Amino acid sequence: MDTQGNIRFILDGEIREIPAGALPASTTVLDYLRSLSGHKGVKEGCGEGDCGACTVVIAGLNEYGSISYQALNSCLLFLPMLHAKQLITIENLAIRKAGKTILHPVQQALVDHYGSQCGYCTPGMVMSMFAMFKSYTNPQPDDIRNNLSGNLCRCTGYVSMTEAVIDACAKGPVDHFTEEEEVIAGKLREILSDKRCLSLAGEKQNYFSAFTLDDALTIRDRHPGIRIVAGATDLAVVQNKRQVYAESLLDISHCDEMDFVMEDHGAWYIGGASKLEYLREFMQERLPALSAVLEVFGSRQIRNSATIGGNICNASPIGDLLPLLMVLDCSLSLMSKTGKRTVKLSDFICGYRQTLLDEKELMVMLTIPRPAENTILRTYKLSRRREVDISTVSAAFSMQGEDTASLRIAFGGMADRVKRAGRTEAFLAGKIWSRESVEAAMDVLESEFEPIHDARAQADSRRIMAGNLLLRFYLESREGI
């Protein structure tokens, strides 16, 4: 396996190179930018992707060969993830002409509508607005809310910012970046022409970034137990908050063979490195329940980085996606250099943050069977705030019509892992779908789980929440009958 040793990306219109060992490979883009003299507009607020003060825009070549723009949290991006990308910061928006500074249309609209927040938060908000400017011509209120929900500030409110976004986007996505896109695309293609794996060896850390599935599996085989990173939305938080640095990392964020979504008449097939925001958009009409839960999964910036494989293999006991995927009876494709196997998701997670993934395997694909046409499917998330929050209890329910034998129930936040409510399902199986039977099942459900006490809720509160969600599903299922 051939390797290369320089991280190459575009900043300020020029290709930058960072040789292996010059910086720790898992240095965040935020820390890198703050070390430069001309890019200190980016700020650190929370260090965990909640506040959006560190938002930057990453431009890269899409499947059509043109450039797409996405807002991401720079505090959650490792430097190698910039390879073959263009990094755009707040300093790149305005331009100088004839000795004058000309604001970018987004910046000018923010000024015109008096939407500026404090100096600390405004740069990140402008970058989220800029990403919208390059992606929308007529954003709807839900689009704006979705894109700005990851930027938290309460100085002047969001009404004026919303007006500024509408104003700027109505004028079209043409700006000085548009004029430079062909040149930038050529430079990105030049970098991408070298498909050799990045091998970045440092004094305390070895970091590999694979561009092909074969290279990724080879590295996994040669380094059993190496830590896998795709979006770093969890691992970067651990590093930022606890100063814990993984000794050895395999980055699969550039592996296109694991970044796909396909469908046929019977199922959807989703690559392990597929981004959650793309999946949300793809499933809006096809599987609305999945799209709905993803709308309140982190922020747009986080979903632009986070992957389906990372979410599943993290095996969080409160994972928002896992209950739905379990009631859909999903399966996972696990691959190593020596073979491939398929396991049910309900079997894959076997304990607190424990899975059946072997130390030489990668989760390469998720298969979601297409629900029957008469399936009633609901997901719920109970949390202290709607956006960018961790669930107290999450739940999913699936049933074909009123056939209680087909009922599947799964909960997060009720045990050491996301689990199906097997005893409750068995109690209801074959019974008439009625309020009486559901209320009786609530008593079974109350004793089925042993939830923990923590800062979000007490165990008894969680039991009550779970029972109420079962009743809510019953009531909602009856609305169309």
User: pLDDT tens-digit profile of 29-87?
Assistant: 999 999 999 999 999 999 999 899 999 999 999 988 999 999 999 999 999 999 999 99
Tokens representing residue 139 in the block: 């954003």
**133, 193: one domain:** no
- pLDDT of 387 > 80? The answer is no
State the average pLDDT over residues 425-442. Answer: 97
Of 209, 235, 251, the last residue of a domain is 251
Cβ neighbours for 370, distance < 8 A, ≥ 6 positions apart: 265, 266, 267, 268
43 shares its domain with 189: yes
Residues 268 and 358 in one domain: yes
The answer to the question of residue 98 being in a domain is no
CATH number at residue 426: 3.30.390.50
Measured distance CA(342)–CA(26) in Å, rounded: 32
In the prediction, which pLDDT does 118 show?
Answer: 78
Residue 375 lies in a domain: no
> How many degrees, rounded to 5, is the angle at CA 383 between CA 379 and CA 387?
85
190: pLDDT strictly greater than 90: yes
pLDDT at residue 338 greater than cutoff 70: yes
Strands 95-97 and 100-102: antiparallel
Task: Summarize pLDDT for 342-364 with one digit per residue, the tens.
Answer: 999 999 999 999 999 999 999 99
**Averaged pLDDT of the chain:** 94
- Concatenated DSSP letters for 335-374? EETTEEEEEEHHHHEEETTEES--TT-EEEEEEEEPPPTT
Instruction: Please say if the pLDDT value at position 238 is more than 50.
Output: yes
Output the pLDDT for position 154.
65
Do residues 338 and 452 both lie within one domain? no
pLDDT one-digit tens code per residue, 455-464: 889 999 999 9
Residues 168 and 40 in one domain: no
Read off the CATH number of the domain in which 109 is found: 1.10.150.120
Q: Are residues 83 and 186 in the same domain?
A: yes
Beta strand spans in 370-470 (E): 375-382, 393-400, 403-412, 419-420
Task: Residue 9: give its domain's CATH number.
Answer: 3.10.20.30
Residues 83 and 163 in one domain: no
Q: Is 387 domain-assigned?
A: yes
Q: Which residues pair with 209 in a beta bridge?
A: 198, 251
Same domain? 361 vs 407:
no
Looking at 369, 398, 422, the residue that finishes a domain is 369
Element (H, E) at 268: strand 267-271
Within-domain flag for 321: yes
- Convert the pLDDT of each residue in 207-226 to its tens digit: 999 999 999 999 999 999 89
Question: Can you give the residue range of the structural domain that contains 158?
Answer: 105-174
Q: Where are the beta strands (DSSP E) in 413-481?
A: 419-420
Residue 319 in domain: yes
Cα torsion 165, 167, 168, 173 to 10°: value is 110
pLDDT of amino acid 115: 83
Average pLDDT of the residues in 228-241:
94
Q: Are strands 331-336 and 339-344 parallel, antiparallel or unpaired?
A: antiparallel
Q: Are residues 262 and 312 in the same domain?
A: yes
Q: What is the mean pLDDT of residues 311-340?
A: 96
Domain contains 246: yes
**Interior angle at CA 393, CA 309 and CA 330, nearest 5:** 35
Global pTM? 0.94
Helix (H) or strand (E) holding 315, with range, is none
Evaluate if residue 254 carries a pLDDT over 90: yes
The structural domain count of the chain equals 4
Q: Where among 232, 251, 270 does a domain terminate?
A: 251
Reported as a single tens digit per residue, the pLDDT across 142-168 is 999 999 989 987 676 788 899 999 999
Q: Please indicate, yes or no, whether residues 465 and 430 belong to a single structural domain of this protein.
A: yes
What number of other Cβ atoms are within 10 A of residue 120's Cβ?
14
In this prediction, what percent of the chain has a pLDDT beyond 70?
Answer: 99
- Label residue 117 by pLDDT band (50, 70, 90): confident
Residues 216 and 338 in one domain: no
Region 426-455: mean pLDDT is 95
Q: Any idea what the CATH number is for the domain that residue 299 is in?
A: 3.30.465.10
* 97 occurs within a structural domain: no
**Does the pLDDT of residue 252 top 50, yes or no?**
yes
Is there a domain that residue 182 lies in? yes
What pLDDT was estimated at residue 481?
47
Same domain for 194 and 267, yes or no, is: no
Of the ranges 112-126, 351-365, 376-390, the best mean pLDDT one: 351-365
